[in-house]
């Protein structure tokens, strides 16, 4: 079987061989699932970890600051979430509402295709869920359902970062 990553040389292996894992914040295993609450961290693969912190007094310019966030950060409306959150991989039939997609949902499988996530990485891509509703596709996009608005009182700050 051949696997060709965009911009890379072809990789030729048997079907049962493991494919290379890029330096991304992926789940340690396909069946990984862990709960996450405020002030906690979860170790991911390749030296990455996911952190959750509460920002109780949003800054006046919070909506401007959200636009400037790195894709490894997500700010969610704390009062719309049901804690603890769960970090897991995709499940068959998962749908969600990506930020900016008001009134519409999308299959997570279609989102991965649109974002050009390699097929062999999709089962390892971390999802943060609130009561089994996808709140953030880690490193890509938060959900419309939990977005920050002018009415937001408390913000849950989620961040993935590499260990030093």
Question: pLDDT tens, 72-83?
Answer: 999 999 999 999
136-150 burial, b at 16+ Cβ within 10 Å, e below that, comes to bbbbbbbbbbbbbee
pLDDT of residue 137: 98
Residue of 36 and 150 predicted with greater confidence: 36
- With tokens 């990789």, the residue in question is 11
Query: So what's the pLDDT on residue 8?
Result: 46
**Which pLDDT belongs to residue 4?**
46
Of all helices (H) and strands (E), which one includes residue 43?
strand 41-43
Q: How confident is the model at residue 103 (pLDDT cuts 50, 70, 90)?
A: confident
**CB-based contacts of 74: which residues, under 8 Å, 6+ apart?**
128, 135, 136, 138, 142, 157, 158, 159
DSSP character for 119? G
Q: What is the mean pLDDT of the chain?
A: 88
pLDDT band, very low/low/confident/very high, at 28 (cuts 50, 70, 90): very high
95 Cα distance to chain centroid: 14
């Amino acid at each position: 079987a051949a696997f060709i990553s965009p911009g890379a040389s072809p990789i030729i292996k048997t079907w049962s061989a493991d494919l290379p894992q890029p330096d991304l914040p992926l789940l340690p295993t396909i069946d990984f699932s862990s709960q996450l609450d405020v002030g906690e961290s979860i170790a991911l693969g390749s030296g990455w970890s996911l952190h959750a912190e509460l920002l109780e007094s949003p800054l006046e310019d919070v909506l401007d600051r959200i636009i400037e966030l790195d894709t490894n950060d997500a700010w969610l409306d704390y009062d719309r979430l049901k804690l603890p959150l769960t970090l897991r991989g995709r499940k068959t039939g998962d749908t969600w509402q990506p930020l900016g997609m008001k009134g519409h949902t999308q299959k997570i499988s279609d989102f991965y295709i649109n974002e050009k996530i390699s097929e062999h990485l999709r089962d390892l891509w971390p999802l943060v869920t609130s009561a089994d509703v996808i709140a953030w596709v880690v490193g890509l996009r938060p959900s419309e359902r939990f977005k920050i608005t002018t009415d937001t009182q408390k913000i849950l700050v989620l961040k993935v970062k590499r260990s030093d």
